[in-house]
Chains A and B, each alone.
Chain A
Amino acid sequence: MPLTHMPTDMNSIPAPEGLPLVEMRGLKTHFFTDDGIVKAVEGVDLDVYSNRTLCILGESGCGKSIMARSILRIVDNPGRITAGCIVYRAADGQTIDLAKARPGSKELREVRGQDISMIFQEPMSSLGPITKIGKQIVETILLHRDMNKAEAKEAAIELLDRVGIPKPAERFEAYPFELSGGMRQRAMIAMALSCQPRLLIADEPTTALDVTTQAQILDLIAELKEEFQMGVMLITHDLGVVAEVAEDVAVMYMGKVVEKGDVYSIFENPQHPYTRALLQSVPRIGAEKRSRLPAIRGMVPHPLARPSGCTFRTRCDSFMPGICDQRQPALKPKGDSEVACFLHSEEVSHD
């Protein structure tokens, strides 16, 4: 179940094969609000591979959702991508820089829903409220696949069946408000998978669901990943979920990736003080004593008041005056993972 099922067996995860599906380099997405510029995503480098699950981990407001939405270019105003590239490698080997595509352009629309699809946190508000479930799925199929209406309907019912919705032919005619939360999220997944995407982005797909349903939905996603051989980017703040399904993990804090690596190195040998603090804040069954659960000290700074230097320094137990508040640490390899922290750079040795 989602909580603290830590990977104990030492099978290490094989390194990714081939070229990444999506390569992000120096991605910046900023929100130009009346009160100032909110730097939601501030220089992110990430690779997403097919047939692997990448988990993006971080607290609320760390920019993980905005980063994911930037891939599909569905960031709402006043948000804009201001720098960087998002290179998508299509099945035929051609590449498109999604960050530079014209908004609403045909090439962008053809990637959306067909090559890369997305499921969202709130299955209720993410489905059109007064359109039948079936119609919403059929609509997607007709957009991207060469089918007539009858075939699309058949395909949609098949999908509903595949994602575990009982009596799919009946549910095809149902409105979203007639379904339970779990069923809605299944319908949402059916819609996302309707064109057999190569990458599925799931933005906290289980947050709004109860615990048993959460596990079912995660299992479903994992199963479908195997079946369709697709890449999955799973956004979550739930460490249990990460341990359960991830191959790769990236930890974000205030719009930056502070540490990334495969799930074993992150869980067994966390390098960044933030990652360590996150892992310590999880309750463990059979922990030595009934001591207070450690929490990360302080609060996430106001988005308009980013600390200078390393953004985590205001909450960091290893803050080094004169270093951390002067320069920004870059992501550098350390063991099997990469970390952005001065504790691990050669110039400043510590410990």
Chain B
Amino acid sequence: MLGFLLRRLLYMIPTVFLVSVVTFIIIQLPPGDYLDTLAAEMSDSGGLDEGTMQALTEQYGLGQPIYVQYYKWMSGILLDGNFGISFERNLPVNDLIWDRLGWTFTISILTLLFIWAVALPIGIYSAVRKYSVGDYAATFFGFIGLAVPNFLLALVMMYVAFKYFGQSVGGLVSPEYLEEPWSWEKFVDLLKHIWMPIVVVGTSGAAALIRIMRANLLDELYRPYVVTARAKGMSEFQLLLRYPVRVALNPFVSTIGWILPTLVSGEIIVAVVMNLPTTGPLLLRALLVQDMYLAGSLILIVSLLTVLGTLISDLLLAWIDPRIRYQ
């Protein structure tokens, strides 16, 4: 197990490196460099401070070869945890992002739990009662869930909630709680709001997982070892859970690896529509005004956390499937 962990950690190094390179490329993509923009900004607001400019030029290695700039940017992050400055707001990126990242991942992980809670029982039911009414209903729901884009579902749900239930939409808490400290009432209010993004983000994932679970289980249901278990005199329910479901669960767990990136993606776009205080709107805004250090930092951290999540899912998989552990 330890060897497996070390090997996986080693595999992560090139991935992390590539992520940082890609992010850096994205930061560099818009024409002009950071300093020009900042200079323009400063002269607009009146004071062009030569000293600040000098310091920034030094800090980011601006005007120097691209790999020096990359090195300066990376070492700032790695050594000082300094992600740079958001020029639009004139604040360190660090001050802006962590709360929002926290919410993004809270919602993504809650969504993952929601997806599991929905997809596991429905997927099992669908496979065991193949071609029953329930199976067809699940299949139909699955296809619809995959066909409706996240943001469209978000819009439809907001419309329905507003039009027929008169519920305030957007945000994670009602406006009156925004500035309040955390309290029981605020928490309840949060629960009243947070279910909607979770359901919206989770629908397509749940649909996909139901189909995966169904297919996996169908592959296992007619294996000889199931017949063996039946011949031992186990009841159908018992043997279902102890053998085929356990085996079918492995590919199911490994799907966390790819479902986490899609959840984070979905959360970002849904957050824009629903105006949630998460990474999405901040990232979109940063990209639209080309506040590239802020945008780059967000992309970098979101990607890294996702890679980390994938690693955790791999470890979980190795933990439940001895065959992988022993490879």
Q: Which residues of A contact B (CB under 8 A)?
A: 69, 72, 74, 76, 104, 109-114, 117-118, 120, 122, 125-131, 139-140, 143-144, 175, 177-178, 188, 191
**0/1 string, B228-272, CB within 8 A of A gives 1:** 111111111000001100110010000000000000000000000
- Among candidates A74, A125, A139, residue contacting B225 with C-beta atoms closer than 8 Å: A125
The 7 closest A-B pairs by CB, nearest first: A113-B233, A112-B233, A113-B232, A126-B224, A109-B233, A125-B224, A118-B231
Question: Which residues on the A side are within 8 Å of B321 (C-beta)?
Answer: 130
Question: Which residues on the A side are within 8 Å of B250 (C-beta)?
Answer: 130
- Listed by A's residue number, 26 A-B pairs whose Cβ atoms lie within 8 Å are A72-B230, A74-B231, A109-B233, A113-B232, A113-B234, A114-B233, A120-B227, A120-B228, A122-B224, A126-B225, A126-B227, A128-B229, A130-B247, A130-B250, A130-B320, A130-B323, A139-B232, A139-B242, A140-B232, A144-B233, A175-B322, A175-B326, A177-B326, A188-B228, A191-B228, A191-B232
Count chain B CB atoms within 10 A of each CB in A109, A113, A129, A139 and give the residue with the most: A129
Question: Which residues on the A side are within 8 Å of B164 (C-beta)?
Answer: none
B232 touches A131 (CB 8 A): no
Q: Is there a chain A Cβ closer than 8 Å to B222's Cβ?
A: yes
Q: A130-B323, A131-B246 are in contact. Are A74 and B223 (CB under 8 A)?
A: no
Q: A120-B227, A126-B227, A175-B323 are in contact. Are A143 and B232 (CB under 8 A)?
A: yes
Q: A130-B246, A130-B322, A131-B246 are in contact. Are A117 and B232 (CB under 8 A)?
A: yes
Distance of A191 Cα from B234 Cα, bound (Å): 13
Question: Which residues on the B side are within 8 Å of A175 (C-beta)?
Answer: 322-323, 326
**0/1 string, B285-327, CB within 8 A of A gives 1:** 0000000000000000000000000000000000011110010
Distance of A126 Cα from B222 Cα, bound (Å): 11
Question: Which residues on the B side are within 8 Å of A188 (C-beta)?
Answer: 228
Distance of A24 Cα from B106 Cα, bound (Å): 63
For chain B, the bracket of interface size reads: 20 to 34
Nearest Cβ distance between residue A181 and chain B, in whole angstroms? Answer: 14
Distance of A254 Cα from B28 Cα, bound (Å): 75
Nearest Cβ distance between residue A86 and chain B, in whole angstroms? Answer: 15
- Among candidates A109, A139, A177, A191, residue contacting B323 with C-beta atoms closer than 8 Å: A177
B322 touches A125 (CB 8 A): no
CB-nearest residue of chain A to B249: A130
Nearest Cβ distance between residue B50 and chain A, in whole angstroms? Answer: 68
A127 touches B225 (CB 8 A): yes
CB-nearest residue of chain B to A112: B233
Distance of A255 Cα from B320 Cα, bound (Å): 43
Q: A130-B246, A130-B247, A131-B243 are in contact. Are A109 and B228 (CB under 8 A)?
A: no
Question: Which residues on the B side are within 8 Å of A74 (C-beta)?
Answer: 227, 230-231
- Among candidates B233, B242, B323, residue contacting A110 with C-beta atoms closer than 8 Å: B233
CB-nearest residue of chain B to A109: B233
Distance of A178 Cα from B231 Cα, bound (Å): 24
Distance of A117 Cα from B227 Cα, bound (Å): 12
Distance of A110 Cα from B320 Cα, bound (Å): 31
Distance of A143 Cα from B300 Cα, bound (Å): 54
Question: Which residues on the B side are within 8 Å of A127 (C-beta)?
Answer: 225, 228
- Among candidates A104, A117, A128, residue contacting B231 with C-beta atoms closer than 8 Å: A117
Nearest Cβ distance between residue A119 and chain B, in whole angstroms? Answer: 9
Distance of A1 Cα from B226 Cα, bound (Å): 33
